Amino acid sequence: MKIKLGKFSMTAIRPDFFTPVRFEEPKTIKQYIQEGVDNYFYLSGRSVVVIPREILNGSQAVRIIKDQDQGKVKQVILGAIKVISYMIVIIPLLMLVAKASFRLTHKFHIVSKDKYESIVRQKNYSLVKKVSFWRHFLFSYNKAIDDEKWNSTQGLSFLIAEFQTIKGSFHALLAETESEHTEYQEKKENLKNFISELIDQTTESLSALQEKIQNKTPRGLENVGNTCYMNSALQPLLAIGNFKQLIPNSVAPEPEDSFEARKNILASFKDFFESWTNKDNAANLGHKVGNLRKEIFEAGLSQGGFTNSRDQDQERGFQDAGQFFELILHILGKGFQLEITRTPVMNDGTSIEARKTEETTPQGVFYLQLPGDSLQEIVNGYQAALDQEGEWRVEDSHSQSEILFFRFKEMQKIVGPVPEILVVEVNNHVVNPEQDHVINFAPLFKEPSENCEYKLVGFSQNHHQVHWTSVVWKENNWFYCNDGQTQQVPIESNFFKHPANYMIFQKHENGYL
């Protein structure tokens, strides 16, 4: 048989029928079986080893080795067992058929020692070139980790995918190194060690990137049983950049009757926030939310405030994100004082100033009830007193329940310092991120400061009076948070078409987030 090599030709030398063919590691199951059949007829002498991926015109290149790697005693014992088995005609006959079938379907040609060494050098050179190629890529991408232009969710995701490709290529090269040039063990080990070091570098870079992207992506909060309303309120609060600085060391001493309850709730909230800061998984964070919920109900929470009762049914009634906002902002000392002025009005529209009443109450949420095409338009409607109607029932000698109607003008204003966080309830308002991203809330304040602009941090949504979710702005991207599941979403998505119930804002200082 002749094999052409470019302009040259050479006569291919085939191994004889009874010369066993061996394979280098790693081997397939089929190759193990083929070796076993060949070894059955082998007693001593030379054998040939297949050179991986060296095929020419359908013929697999092999190299000659002197003897199989086993001790003399073991070789004699195995040889005796084989000779004895030859006397059982059926066994050698079956083995002979299997061996013939193998040799008919596989062609081999022996290469000289010089040719084999040339192949090894070429394979070494090829491996080194491949390693150098991927090492260059690793070096380039390592520089990109700290480059600000890649410091976004999309940029980091792209880099992670690239590093995973590089790592996969290094693992493939390591496997290729394992199966080549076993005689040159020292060079092989050096190359393996070098590739392993590059894999370790790639793993470290991947860890750094994954930590970066985790910091840019909200972590989920598992629902541990009716805690979705809390999760939907916590996610936008946690997206506030300086939220850690807003957590006080202790709660306010007043009111005295709720001091211990508020102290316990704050301790539970700090425990949750520590787990959040330490990047605990969603399940553990959900467990901490459950503990916080337990402290709230043990405090006797009712509609965002504190009562002395321990009504067992109130837990089922407390399922509104607004109630949680009211409570937690009160605990953190980040609520506000709301002044409500009511002036009765006669049928002709004349105000009865003598019967005007004022009250001030601590609040965590400002309830916007006016209609409007945009949130800013709704807020602007609170510059003047609003017309209200009411009714009450009185008993007299002629009627046990006479109904009297009355009208009044109501003015609601935030008094005192401008709060860092402002939560507003909105009725069926569909959030427009481009229009609602910065709102001037000056009309809500009795004595507005020079800057009453707030930036939108996120909003909570209720679905069919059953389930709560939220959408939050973090690291220049919007994320949809549904308990333990979070995902980045574009403003064109359906998540922005569902009306918000509560919108969370932070005092605007240096541009939009």
Tens-place pLDDT, residues 435-467: 999 999 999 999 998 889 999 999 999 998 889
Q: State how far the alpha carbon of 45 is from the alpha carbons of 51, 74, 277, 359, in Å.
A: 20, 15, 69, 107
DSSP result, 70-84: --HHHHHHHHHHHHH
Q: What is the mean pLDDT of residues 384-394?
A: 70
- pLDDT, tens digit (0-9, with 9 covering 90-100), for 289-341: 999 998 888 876 544 444 333 344 444 445 789 989 989 998 999 999 999 99
Report which DSSP code applies to 54. Answer: E
Higher pLDDT: 404 or 288? It is 288
- pLDDT at res. 307: 39
Amino acid identity of residue 310, one-letter, is R
pTM here is: 0.64
- pLDDT at res. 439: 95
Residues 6+ apart with CB under 8 A from 433: 456, 473, 478, 491, 496
pLDDT band (50, 70, 90) for residue 394: low
First to last CA, the chain: 76
What 3-state class would DSSP assign to 179? coil
Residue 76 has pLDDT above 80, yes or no: no
Q: Among positive and negative, which fits the CA dihedral 25, 30, 32, 35?
A: negative
- pLDDT at res. 413: 95
pLDDT band (50, 70, 90) for residue 426: very high
Beta strands 336-345; 357-363: pairing state: antiparallel
Q: Among positive and negative, which fits the CA dihedral 200, 201, 203, 208?
A: positive
- pLDDT at res. 136: 87
- pLDDT at res. 255: 80
- pLDDT at res. 393: 53
Residue 233 has pLDDT above 90, yes or no: yes
Residue 87 class from Cβ within 10 Å (0-12 exposed, 13-18 middle, 19+ buried)?
exposed
Of the CA atoms within 13 Å of residue 440, those in its CB half-sphere come to 10
N residues, the chain: 513
Q: Which long-range contacts (CB under 8 A, 24 or more apart) does 114-123 make?
A: 116/51, 116/63, 119/51, 119/54, 119/61, 120/180, 120/181, 120/183, 120/184, 123/180, 123/181
Short-list 201, 219, 220, 206, CA closest to 156: 206
Mean pLDDT, all residues of the chain: 82
- pLDDT at res. 185: 63
Class for the domain spanning 228-507: alpha beta
Question: In 423-440, which positions are buried (b, 16+ CB within 10 angstroms) versus exposed (e)?
Answer: bbbbeebebeeeebbebe
Question: Quick one: tokens of 334?
Answer: 């980040």
- pLDDT, tens digit (0-9, with 9 covering 90-100), for 91-116: 888 888 888 888 888 888 877 777 77
- pLDDT, tens digit (0-9, with 9 covering 90-100), for 175-216: 877 765 545 566 778 888 888 999 999 999 988 888 887 777
Residues 6+ apart with CB under 8 A from 370: 378, 381, 382, 386
Instruction: Indicate the domain borders of the chain.
Output: 2-111, 117-216, 228-507
Q: State how far the alpha carbon of 394 is from the alpha carbons of 132, 345, 389, 402, in Å.
A: 92, 19, 17, 5
pLDDT band (50, 70, 90) for residue 404: low
- pLDDT at res. 455: 95
Q: Could you tell me if 32 and 9 are in contact, meaning their C-beta atoms sit under 8 angstroms apart?
A: no
Q: What is the mean pLDDT of residues 21-42?
A: 82
Question: In 108-144, which positions are buried (b, 16+ CB within 10 angstroms) versus exposed (e)?
Answer: bbbbeeeebeebbeebbeebeebbeebbeebeebbeb
